[in-house]
Copies of this chain bind each other. A is one copy, B any other.
Amino acid sequence: MERYLEKAKVLTEALPYIQRFHGKTIVIKYGGSAMREEALRRHFAQDIVLMKFVGLRPVVVHGGGPQIGAALKRLGKETRFVGGMRVTDAETMEVVEMVLSGKLNKDLVHLINSQGGKAIGLSGKDGNLIEARKMVRSAGEEGEEDLGYVGEVAKVNAEILKDMDRGVYIPVVAPVGVGRDGKTYNINADLVASRLAVALNADKLILLTDVTGILDGSGDLVSSIRMSDLEGLLVREEVTGGMIPKVRCCYEAVSRGVRKAHIIDGRVEHSVLLEVFTDGGVGTEICRD
């Protein structure tokens, strides 16, 4: 009985969070360990389904770097990385799309459905969701090499997402878009999540990563930071490496209307749920000044 009582208390503690986020859209970038480890995967799916059932509107964007690498390897196709981005020729792009839209997207859809949700998998092609353009690299960025079919988000046509997430469906988006040239482009999933969050006027953008969050100069976790301080961090180059583009995605989202952005540790079980339904956040929260 004691045990159950404890449970009831936890449920009612979640009440203020459930009230606060009722009807709100939350865009989650899914990737890293949370996408690979069986238990974390299942917990993530439960978190998403629970959010939907208690009245939130989760939208999931997934990445897929490692799985793409493995598939290319199996095909005997080598890839090179320039500035952290994969040089993507037409043949590579074909594999990238198949892995993202045909395997990872559908696996995630099935995973969410098996936990009782009604997920629907979309790529940026469906309903013209994401119009892409070739990524333009500023001169001086590690050579001038052409990255091929690496794209940026040119425009988001969010109607299809709105139709979905207002109803019973949980949209799951693969980060692929089409350009005006009719070509398919692979786009960084953090970037897609950030842009969708803006287009949907989301309440939260959550990026699942494999780090604990933003660290300050002394290596300590920054649990909450305002936009103006974040600029300082970037200017002083205290944020480095792969964290830079993530921080930029968050910055962009919050400066264009998303209420809060979070970089959280996907290696922690139920990290999404913890972030949304308790005050024990698991990473760094970026909010307005």
Interface residues of chain A, those whose CB is within 8 Å of chain B, are 1, 3-16, 18-19, 22, 43, 46-47, 49-50, 53-55, 74-75, 94, 97-103, 105-106, 109-110, 113-116, 118-123, 125-128, 160, 163, 167, 169, 176, 178, 182, 184, 268-270, 273-274, 277-278, 280, 282
Contact = CB atoms under 8 A, between A and B. Distances in A.
B46 A15 contact: yes
Contacts of A273: 8, 11-12
A277 B6 CA distance: 12
15 contacts: A4-B282, A8-B273, A8-B278, A11-B270, A19-B49, A75-B75, A98-B102, A101-B102, A101-B103, A106-B125, A110-B125, A119-B127, A120-B160, A121-B122, A121-B123
Given A125-B109, A125-B110, A15 B102 contact: no
Given A14-B50, A18-B53, 16 more contacts: A1-B282, A4-B274, A4-B278, A7-B10, A9-B269, A12-B43, A12-B273, A15-B46, A53-B54, A97-B102, A98-B103, A100-B102, A110-B182, A118-B127, A119-B127, A120-B126
Going nearest first, the 4 A-B pairs with the smallest beta carbon separation are A102-B102, A8-B270, A4-B280, A98-B102
A19 to B, nearest CB: 5
A178 B119 CA distance: 14
A101 B99 CA distance: 10
A52 to B, nearest CB: 10
A275 to B, nearest CB: 10
A76 to B, nearest CB: 8
B16 A116 contact: yes
Nearest to A169: B127
Nearest to A174: B102
A24 B216 CA distance: 49
Contacts of A109: 123, 125-126
A94 to B, nearest CB: 7
Contacts of A5: 268-270, 274
Chain B CB within 10 Å, residue with most, of A13, A109, A127: A127
Given A55-B53, A273-B12, A94 B101 contact: no
Nearest to A55: B53
A176 B268 contact: no
A119 to B, nearest CB: 7
A54 to B, nearest CB: 4
Nearest to A77: B74
